[in-house]
Amino acid sequence: MMKGVIAMCLKDLVVNKFGADKWAECLKNIGEAQDTPILATSDMHDEVVMKMFQTACKTLGISLQQIADSFGEYWVCNFSQKIYGTFYRKYGNAKEFLLAMDRVHVDMTTSLKDSTPPRFDYKWKDKRTR
């Protein structure tokens, strides 16, 4: 299961980079109504989200690798800034942010029913690693 926030980001990416008409075409191609709501905290089956990505690839004429790269860049540089900005601003640098992610995900499980976010385990190689 994935959270709806992944599908929300894909929608945002397609609409902002390719146009709302392309997103509407994607939805049509997977048999979804254009007004189908996507909620950030809703659970979505992996197969459904992957079908959205695959349909976006076909609709946009790009490879899965290209959309994955675009999604990653868009998530970090645009989308996550809007919805998770408080988390970014809370930490002084990337290392602090990354080290806090496991704790953030553990805390999320207390407020989101049936939430199973990824867990992270860190091992710092040496003192020179930044």
pLDDT score of 8: 96
Please give the chain's pLDDT, 130 residues, in tens. 888 999 999 999 999 999 999 999 999 998 877 777 888 888 899 999 999 999 999 999 999 999 999 999 999 999 998 988 888 888 888 888 888 888 888 877 777 777 777 788 887 788 777 6
Structural domains in the chain, CATH included, are 2-83 (3.90.1520.10), 84-122 (no CATH)
Residues in a beta bridge with 3: 43
Question: How far apart are the C-alpha atoms of 17 and 111, rounded to whole Å?
Answer: 33
Q: Give the per-residue pLDDT at 31.
A: 84
State the pTM of this model: 0.80
In the prediction, which pLDDT does 7 show?
A: 96
Spatial CB neighbours of 62, under 8 Å, sequence gap ≥ 6 = 70
Quote the pLDDT of residue 130.
62
Q: What confidence score (pLDDT) does residue 111 get?
A: 75
In the three-class reduction of DSSP (H, G, I as helix; E, B as strand; rest coil), residue 43 is classed as strand
